[in-house]
């Protein structure tokens, strides 16, 4: 099922497919968020901002506006 990363819940695991906003593409790639990587949602802060994820063997926090631009497929 295709969703936005911002729509996932704690513990969900997904494959990154693409990005909606090309302006964030380079920033996200520099953080290791690239298509084909598996991402796991570790924690979601109150009001859903920020969210803590695990990707490529490390932990990362994303703002909700960044997560809304990442298209994923649940695995």
- Structure-token match 């996932």, residue found: 8
Question: 24-61: b or e for each residue (b if 16 or more CB lie within 10 Å)?
Answer: beeebeeeebeeeeebbbeebeeeeebbebebeeeebe
Query: Does residue 26 have a cis bond before it (omega within 30 degrees)?
Result: no
pLDDT in tens, 23-43: 888 888 888 999 999 999 999
The whole domain housing 45 covers 2-74
pLDDT at 36: 96
> Residue 37 is part of a domain; what is its CATH number?
2.30.30.90
Count the residues in the chain. Answer: 75
pLDDT in tens, 47-73: 889 999 999 999 999 999 999 999 999
Tally of domains in the chain: 1
Among 57, 54, 58, residue whose Cα is nearest residue 5: 54
pLDDT at 34: 93
- pLDDT over threshold 90, residue 21: no
């Amino acid at each position: 099922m295709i969703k936005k990363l911002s729509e996932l819940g704690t513990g969900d695991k997904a494959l990154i497919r693409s990005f909606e906003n090309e302006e964030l593409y380079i920033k996200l790639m520099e953080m290791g968020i690239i298509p084909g990587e598996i991402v796991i949602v570790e924690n979601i802060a109150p009001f859903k901002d920020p969210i803590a994820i695990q990707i490529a063997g490390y932990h990362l926090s994303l703002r909700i506006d960044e997560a809304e631009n990442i298209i994923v497929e649940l695995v």
